[in-house]
């Protein structure tokens, strides 16, 4: 079983966390694509009803709509029972690094609406300490040089992600060389820097559940972590 098949496994496993008849939050990325496809198949097979979805990106919105699932604006809802999304890294406390798909700001907005964050990921994403994956930071373009210097003072090497403009019109810095031992304090600090729109550490909005696809003796399985 390869990584894509593990993503399909956790995408299907996440269906158990979809409350019938409610609006759900849907994230972004290849693992979430598997969840959206599994959700559409379950609706077609069983008639499972969802009242719609709040999406964190244009990519996910288009995929949901192609499957006939209604997409609502975040401003139309006051709360969500669950938000289902992937992660680039997740630690043993449910803190995550996100933003590889450049949707981190909208992901954090939708996560803030939800009572529970369910992370779906393959086993390669589970780490002891966040930071091996380059940390995405959405920024205002004029602050790029200043923020690069601030990350350098922390031991990080920040580079502008070439050719990327977010759905919000921002740019992305990817920061390498960090070891984020206190994710909540790091997130709180960096979010206050002028020019930062959102830092890709999700500690305040950490996962409550992680469905982790992993290999078991040549076959795939899903391990459930709760935080």
Residues 192-212 have pLDDT tens digits of 999 999 999 999 999 999 999
Q: Which pLDDT does position 219 carry in this prediction?
A: 85
What is the pLDDT, as a whole number, of residue 193? Answer: 98
- Within 10 Å of residue 116's Cβ, how many Cβ atoms? 15
154/110 Cα distance (integer angstroms) = 29
Q: What is the per-residue pLDDT across 38-64, written as a single tens digit (0 to 9) for each?
A: 999 999 999 888 999 999 999 999 999
- Residue 191: the pLDDT is 97
pLDDT of residue 175: 98
The residues, ordered by sequence, that sit 6+ positions from 47 with a Cβ below 8 Å of its Cβ are none
pTM of the model: 0.95
94 Cβ contact partners less than 8 Å away, ≥ 6 residues apart: 117, 119, 206, 207, 208, 210, 225, 227
Q: Are 175 and 209 in contact (CB under 8 A)?
A: no
| pLDDT value of residue 49 | 85
pLDDT of residue 12: 97
Whether residue 123 lies in the annotated active site: no
**Low-confidence spans in the chain with pLDDT less than 50:** none
Write down all domains in the chain, each with its CATH number in brackets. 3-126+204-226 (3.40.50.1360), 135-200 (3.30.70.260)
Look at phi and psi of residue 179 and say left if phi exceeds 0, alpha if psi is from -120 to 50, else beta.
beta
What do you get for the CA distance between the two ends of the chain, in Å? 27
Helix/strand/coil for 72: strand
Burial class (CB in 10 A: 0-12, 13-18, 19+), 71: middle
Which is catalytic among the residues 107, 123, 187, 189? 107
């Amino acid at each position: 079983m390869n990584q894509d098949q593990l993503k399909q496994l956790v995408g299907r496993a996440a269906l158990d966390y979809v409350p019938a008849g409610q609006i759900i939050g849907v994230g972004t990325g290849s693992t979430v694509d598997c969840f959206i496809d599994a959700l559409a198949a379950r609706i077609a097979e069983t008639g499972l009803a969802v009242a719609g979805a709040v999406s964190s990106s244009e990519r996910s919105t288009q995929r949901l709509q192609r499957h006939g699932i209604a997409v609502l604006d975040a401003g139309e809802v006051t709360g969500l029972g669950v938000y289902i999304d992937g992660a680039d890294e997740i630690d043993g406390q449910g803190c995550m690094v996100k933003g590889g798909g450049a949707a981190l700001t909208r992901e954090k907005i939708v996560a803030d609406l939800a009572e529970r964050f369910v992370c779906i990921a393959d086993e390669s994403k589970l780490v002891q300490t966040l930071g091996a994956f380059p940390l995405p930071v959405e920024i205002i373009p004029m602050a790029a040089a200043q923020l690069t210097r601030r990350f350098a003072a922390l031991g990080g090497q920040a580079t502008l992600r070439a050719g990327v403009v977010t759905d919000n019109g921002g740019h992305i810095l990817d920061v390498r060389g960090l070891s984020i031992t206190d994710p909540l304090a790091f997130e709180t600090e960096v979010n206050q820097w002028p020019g930062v729109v959102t830092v890709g550490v999700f500690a305040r909005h950490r996962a409550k559940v992680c469905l982790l696809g992993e290999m078991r003796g040549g076959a795939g399985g899903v391990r459930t972590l709760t935080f």
